[in-house]
Amino acid sequence: MVAQEFTVDLDKPLVFQVGHLGEAYEEWVHQPIVSREGPRFFESDFWESLTRTVWWAIPSIWLPVVCYFVLKSVRMGHTFPEVALMVAGGVFIWTLLEYTLHRFLFHIKTKSYWGNTMHYLLHGCHHKHPMDGLRLVFPPAATAILLVPFWNTVTLFSTPSSTPALFGGGLLGYVIYDCTHYYLHHGQPANDAPKNLKKYHMNHHFRVQDKGFGITSSLWDRVFGTLPPSKVAKKM
């Protein structure tokens, strides 16, 4: 845990320590500690509580919101088949957003004090403690804030009556993503498809951390050439 002249004390709140790592932060944060017990982030119990979210809060909070917006498009005159296509389109848009955010924002390289601190809060903590079950899904308060620009973006390329269903589809995609992400870390899949997806994501955490940015699928990794190399290819 030593980086240059600074040592991170894992027994103390981490958030305001990691910035001092400077350029060594990138290496430190990608050396995972496999433990279900997550670290403490803040001295304040209030701020600490905002960093912890149980996985089931995500569908409980956001699925009713999805239904509200989807039905809004129905009430505005669209048929159920039309709305279903819009929702599917929203989910598809989310898959690209999921990939883009993970690759270009969550894995941005930082070395300044505040850059390291913000990155650790955003995604670095997940790579450092990948099995911390209370910091796997996105806190609802932060999601609510980010939904405002997402709504505004959707309105730029859709009609007033189709915007709610597209927005609801995008939000549904997010719910699927967060629940899938939790399952990939803590579930024990029995079928081949989820087993392979779990292996794919664990590979991102423990073997090739600059590849394999898709969570719900490897689609955009294939499109943009960020599939992780196979073990066979690596040996060759």
Average pLDDT, the chain: 93
Q: What percent of the chain has pLDDT over 90?
A: 92
Q: What is the DSSP string of 68-132?
A: HHHHHHHHTT--HHHHHHHHHHHHHHHHHHHHHIIIIITT----SHHHHHHHIIIIIHHHHSTT-
Mean pLDDT on 106-110: 96
Q: Please, are residues 90 and 167 in contact by the beta-carbon 8 Å criterion?
A: yes
pLDDT at 127: 96
Measured distance CA(114)–CA(122) in Å, rounded = 12
Domains of the chain: which residue ranges?
A: 14-224
Q: Please, are residues 230 and 116 in contact by the beta-carbon 8 Å criterion?
A: no
Q: What is the DSSP string of 27-51?
A: HHHTS----SSPPP--SSHHHHHTT
Q: Please, are residues 140 and 58 in contact by the beta-carbon 8 Å criterion?
A: yes
| pLDDT at residue 183 is higher than 80 | yes
| pLDDT at residue 232 is higher than 90 | no
Mean pLDDT on 130-135: 94
| pLDDT at residue 198 is higher than 90 | yes
Q: DSSP character for 19? A: G
pLDDT at 125: 96
Residue 3's pLDDT band (boundaries 50, 70, 90)? Answer: very low
Residue 145's pLDDT band (boundaries 50, 70, 90)? Answer: very high
pLDDT at 233: 40
| pLDDT at residue 236 is higher than 70 | no
Alpha helices in 101-230, H assignment, sequence order: 113-119, 125-128, 140-157, 163-186, 192-206, 219-224
| pLDDT at residue 234 is higher than 70 | no
Residue 35's pLDDT band (boundaries 50, 70, 90)? Answer: confident
| pLDDT at residue 199 is higher than 90 | yes
pLDDT at 156: 95
Residue 202's pLDDT band (boundaries 50, 70, 90)? Answer: very high
Amino acid present at 105: L
Residue 103's pLDDT band (boundaries 50, 70, 90)? Answer: very high
Q: Please, are residues 86 and 174 in contact by the beta-carbon 8 Å criterion?
A: no
- The secondary element (H helix, E strand) that includes residue 60 is helix 57-75
Whole-model pTM: value is 0.91
Angle at 70 between CA 67 and CA 76, to 5 degrees: 135
pLDDT at 37: 84
